[in-house]
Structure 1
Amino acid sequence: MKYLTRSIGQIFNLYVLVYAVLIVVFAIEQFDSVLRTAIEYDVSLTAFSRLFVFALPEVADFIIPVSVLVSVYFVLLYKREGREFLTLAAAGSDVRPVVVLVCLVSSLFFGVSVFISGYLKPAAAYAYRSESIAAVAGFVSEGPQNGQFTYDGNKVFHVSDRRSDGERALRMFEFDNERLERLIISDCSNLLASRGDLIVNFCSARIYDFNPPVVPPIGPDPVSPDDCRVCADASGRLNLTVIEVGKSAMLFPLNSLVGGALGVQHNERPLHDLLGLDDNGRFRSGADVRDAAKILLLGLTSVLAAAIAVAAVALTSYRNRFAVLPGAIAVVMLISVAASSGFLVPEFLPGAAGFWVAVLMAAALCFASILIAFNAMRSRLLMPGFARA
């Protein structure tokens, strides 16, 4: 029992170290993206810190199998070279304690992966989206700094700095390809961003519509509206419609005016919600079941990573000591990509019983792969492999 406890502690400590290193590598990459968002929307240091922390769980589950592989590989390799496996075999225990050890840590890391994928990531995604909406709302309501224009798609949006009376000037340009289609001008407006929408309150405004309804002319018309939208007609008037607006309010989707920061909500649902049943005892959505299956398969990838680590230790020798681990990492990453992409999940809505039977069968196969690796590589695991021939 002490041997198992000490070995689990060794694997867990090394796992934490490897996992922390991989998280730091991802954090360095993610820092630039979050920093750009923070600069674009002029968020505070506290809001930037929250955005950065909430963005880290994005790949937190994807790097678990690699961390499991590396930690199990080095601990088992150390034990093999220290002749611990040979000592256990001579004492009559064979490698059964090591098999139990690998199965226990695999079960532990399977639970960690499911918790991160099924609960921590959705919570972090929701928190990140909420913080992003707050940052965008504050940015839009305060107006772009230094008179800069904010654009997205075919809209260009500009709000001046707040005057002493609290009002501000607003200009919104809407284009159709390269042609100006609509212009909204107001010198007295207030902005309020709420629930993903921008509410603009005008004391007065003027709307220039350069794309009025085309009315067939009674007589010959030298100018066709289709040829030129901003041209004078026969009477010398511009081909546009001017709308004078008094005290009113307009509603704009916030993500059509300020792009990029708002997230989506499909990845914010926890695992138990994805596997919810209707009144007839069937899953509510096939897409939700596929997402739940991806989470469980990615968790089982950690079990396969432990089995691959056992095989990698058995195959490691003095000659190939620098090639086996990188090859094993490549295999585990390939399996992780296949599991997280849903490549192995069929596109149909199964019954609840059938789904859980399939999950249990997949789990049994993954844990059986650990036993197969130990049985097939037993002779290689017993003897140290770094001794020069």
Structure 2
Amino acid sequence: MMSLRWHFGPTLYTVRLFARTMIDVCLLAFLIEGLYLSERFISILKLVIDKPVGLENVLPLLASAAPEVHLALPLAILIATYRVILLSRENREFVVLASGGQSILPLLQFASAVGLSAMTFSLLVSGEVAPRAKFAFRANVDAIQYEALRGGSTPGQFLYFPNHTIYVWPTERGSSHPIFVKQILDDNSNRIVNARNIEIEERSSQNMLIIGMFGVAMNDFPNDGERWLAIGAKPDTPGEVSCKGCGLQLQHLKSSSMVRTLDVTKLLPLDPRGATVDEWTTPELLGWMRPPGDRSANPAGAEAMRRLARALLCLLAPFVSWLTLTFTTRRSQAFALPTACAAVMIADIGFSQLVTRLSGVGTTALWSILLGTVCAVLALLVAQIVIRQHLLIFPALGRS
């Protein structure tokens, strides 16, 4: 049995073990990233497939969605560490270390180095990269919708915006662009606009368009839960039609040409970064930097603690791998790693629920409770590893 001697001299072996683990983590992360992006690609493709934009617009959206995979980082750390140390044990590398008088402490410090590196990376991605990527994704979607608005959509496809539904018929030669627009004016009325052709006269500023409309017909209808029915049109009095059940008159306008100034920000309102706390960086959540929104109206402290909890789970993952190794034998090898992965996922859900339920106690108290819980779990893991350290040395998967 290896004795627990409290001294440590860095060795080439532990450095190589750390490097092998980091390489495995990177490979697993790329694998998980590829699976995640292949799934997201379908939903992202739906955003652009019916828009007059090229498929190259998919790449910025995929790049903006990529940082979300940091949610699976604890599992990648767990699996990579387990694979490396299992192979080392079965190759009798730990037997050689124990024969040379090496204690278990270097291996625990190796696990600490892996956990601290993973925790730092998780804090960096979840605290800086992912929030900015979420806003970039939203901005890219807005840009695609703007290009679709200018270029028209494919036949049979509508463009949906807040308070607007637009259909632009593309033509083969691009000589004319008939358009249909439904605008919700308020809770009581809708506006339907039909035009034989539209042209963008000029772009007066970054967000303002001057649009020429030809052959325009505009009608305002009452909006009674979308159940209105216009009947009884009078040919001799164009512009006035009775409305069944509402007693209102429909406003009607026809014009051969019309020029309208369109504020794109009203049709495509792009909220600034920080509309939700998911787009806040961790320093902004903690008040170390000026936040992009109102802190009193957003659960900033709870979101920061949720990110910290997942980062601390990355710290615990290597120690879970070492403890799992002590339970890995020929009989248990089929379910040892899946059980450990399930435990990590349960811990992730548990930490998230803990943060949610205790979000009202204050950031400082929540910080203390979270760190205390993680320290207690870490101490329990280390104690169990030390107690069961003899099971780390000898191979357990070979035939006896």
TM-score, normalized by length of structure 1?
Answer: 0.79
Compared CA separation, residues 27 and 147, structure 1 to 2 (3 A): closer
Compared CA separation, residues 23 and 372, structure 1 to 2 (3 A): same
CA contact (8 A) 2:51 2:154 kept: no
Other-structure match for 2:321: 309
Q: Does 2:117 correspond to 1:127?
A: no
Offset at 1:181? 4.6
CA contact (8 A) 2:190 2:223 kept: no
Q: How does 1:16-35 map to 2 (within 5 A)?
A: 16-35=26-45
Offset at 1:90? 3.8
Offset at 1:325? 0.9
1:52 to 48, 57, 62: 62
Compared CA separation, residues 162 and 388, structure 1 to 2 (3 A): closer
Other-structure match for 1:222: none
The more displaced of 368-377 and 182-191 is: 182-191
Q: How does 1:235-254 map to 2 (within 5 A)?
A: 238-239=241-242, 240-243=250-253, 247-249=259-261, 253-254=266-267
Q: Does 2:332 correspond to 1:320?
A: yes
CA contact (8 A) 1:307 1:369 kept: no
Other-structure match for 1:383: 394
Paired with 1:310 and 1:49, the residues of 2 have a C-alpha distance of 39
Amino acid at match of 2:306: K
Q: Deviations over 1:238-268 (max 9, x none)?
A: 2122246854435574459xxxxx9965422
Q: Secondary structure at the match of 2:70?
A: coil
Offset at 1:196? 12
2:17 to 2, 7, 15: 7
CA contact (8 A) 1:293 1:345 kept: no
Q: Deviations over 1:58-94 (max 9, x none)?
A: 2x21111111111111122122223333443343332
Amino acid at match of 1:92: G
Q: Secondary structure at the match of 1:385?
A: coil
Paired with 1:299 and 1:196, the residues of 2 have a C-alpha distance of 41
Paired with 2:360 and 2:322, the residues of 1 have a C-alpha distance of 35
CA contact (8 A) 1:211 1:229 kept: no
Paired with 2:166 and 2:354, the residues of 1 have a C-alpha distance of 40
1:73 to 60, 66, 82: 82
Paired with 1:149 and 1:383, the residues of 2 have a C-alpha distance of 66
Offset at 1:309? 0.9
Paired with 2:132 and 2:76, the residues of 1 have a C-alpha distance of 23
Other-structure match for 1:296: 308
Offset at 1:143? 1.4
Q: Secondary structure at the match of 1:267?
A: helix
Other-structure match for 1:42: 52
Offset at 1:310? 1.3
Paired with 2:15 and 2:151, the residues of 1 have a C-alpha distance of 58
Paired with 1:333 and 1:325, the residues of 2 have a C-alpha distance of 12
Q: Secondary structure at the match of 1:230?
A: strand
CA contact (8 A) 1:85 1:94 kept: no
Offset at 1:211? 1.7
Q: Secondary structure at the match of 1:25?
A: helix
Paired with 2:45 and 2:307, the residues of 1 have a C-alpha distance of 29
Paired with 1:75 and 1:212, the residues of 2 have a C-alpha distance of 66
Q: Secondary structure at the match of 1:145?
A: coil
Other-structure match for 1:139: 148
CA contact (8 A) 1:168 1:189 kept: yes
Q: Deviations over 1:163-216 (max 9, x none)?
A: 99987443213589xxx9531233454469999988674557442122299xxx
Offset at 1:55? 1.5
Offset at 1:232? 4.8
Other-structure match for 2:231: 230
Paired with 2:274 and 2:57, the residues of 1 have a C-alpha distance of 16
Paired with 2:49 and 2:336, the residues of 1 have a C-alpha distance of 44
Q: Secondary structure at the match of 2:324?
A: helix
Paired with 2:380 and 2:70, the residues of 1 have a C-alpha distance of 22
CA contact (8 A) 1:88 1:95 kept: no
Other-structure match for 1:184: 193
CA contact (8 A) 2:204 2:210 kept: no
Amino acid at match of 2:319: A
CA contact (8 A) 1:196 1:254 kept: no
Q: Secondary structure at the match of 1:40?
A: coil
Paired with 1:344 and 1:377, the residues of 2 have a C-alpha distance of 35
Other-structure match for 1:223: none
Amino acid at match of 2:241: L
CA contact (8 A) 1:207 1:244 kept: yes
Paired with 2:204 and 2:280, the residues of 1 have a C-alpha distance of 22
CA contact (8 A) 1:197 1:254 kept: no
RMSD: 4.0
Give the fraction of aligned pairs with identical amino acids, expressed as a percent.
21
TM-score, normalized by length of structure 2?
Answer: 0.77
Amino acid at match of 1:102: A
Q: Does 2:371 correspond to 1:368?
A: no
Q: Secondary structure at the match of 2:101?
A: coil
Offset at 1:56? 1.7
Paired with 1:227 and 1:160, the residues of 2 have a C-alpha distance of 27
Compared CA separation, residues 134 and 195, structure 1 to 2 (3 A): farther
